[in-house]
Amino acid sequence: MQLAIIGHHGVINDAPEKDGPISTGWRPIRGSLEAMARLHHAGWRIIVASNRPELADGTLQPDSLVRQHASLRRYVADSGGAIEAFSYCPHAPDSECNCHLPGTGLLQDIATRLHISLDGVPVIGDSPTYIQAAMAIGARPILVKTGKGFATVSQPDLDPAVPVFNDLYSAVDSLLKQDLFTADRQTC
Ligand SMILES: [Zn+2]
């Protein structure tokens, strides 16, 4: 079974939700729910990973975060997908924690909890923080041009080896095609 680590805001939906349930005004980026459904049907596990500094500055309460995650799980489930877990850094950007992306603590924690290596595991994000963390830990960074991605793609220090896709849907489409290709080769 394969694993994909997917960014939250800017990858699945447009903007951070305001404090409260995501049932009102929440908008998925076009194709993102379908992309997660396709991964799920192909047997992939999905972890959603993000920084949530709103918890540190008090603009988001922990119980609201729980409700947001439950709502997102429901949206994804209604589309035929499944989010296995949410992994997030609850600290302020200037805290010295290791889990605030681009720190690698968040990804390391996923590897520890699932008892797997993240070598080559796709980390799909919209900002340099995801790219840097994925590279530092030996995972496979993938940039999408949604959210902050359109600005990220034009940054001069972006490694040209990092694959860039228009959105989560096209990134997943490519992953699944490669998956199929690898499976074909293994059975030949
Ligand atoms: Zn942290």
**138-167 per-position pLDDT tens digit:** 999 999 999 999 999 999 999 999 999 999
Q: How far does residue 89's CA lie from ligand 1's centre (Å)?
A: 4
Count of positions (residues) in the chain: 188
Q: Quote the pLDDT of residue 168.
A: 98
Q: How far does residue 107's CA lie from ligand 1's centre (Å)?
A: 11
Find the range with the poorest average confidence among 31-35, 66-70, 118-122. 66-70
Q: Cα separations (Å) of 139 from 23, 59, 68, 69, 157?
A: 33, 32, 27, 24, 19
Cα separation, 66 vs 20, whole angstroms: 10
On average, the pLDDT of the chain sits at: 91
Token pair for 50: 């993000």
Confidence grade of residue 22 (pLDDT, cut at 50, 70, 90): low
Cα separation, 118 vs 115, whole angstroms: 10
Residue 183 has pLDDT above 90, yes or no: no
Q: How far does residue 50's CA lie from ligand 1's centre (Å)?
A: 10
Which pTM was predicted?
A: 0.92
Q: How far does residue 52's CA lie from ligand 1's centre (Å)?
A: 9
Residue 87 has pLDDT above 50, yes or no: yes
Confidence grade of residue 21 (pLDDT, cut at 50, 70, 90): very low
Token pair for 139: 């995972």
Confidence grade of residue 42 (pLDDT, cut at 50, 70, 90): very high
Higher pLDDT, 22 or 174: 174
Angle between helical axes of 128-137 and 105-114 (0-180°, round to 10): 50
Q: How far does residue 100's CA lie from ligand 1's centre (Å)?
A: 4
Q: How far does residue 110's CA lie from ligand 1's centre (Å)?
A: 13
Q: How far does residue 23's CA lie from ligand 1's centre (Å)?
A: 27
Q: How far does residue 101's CA lie from ligand 1's centre (Å)?
A: 8
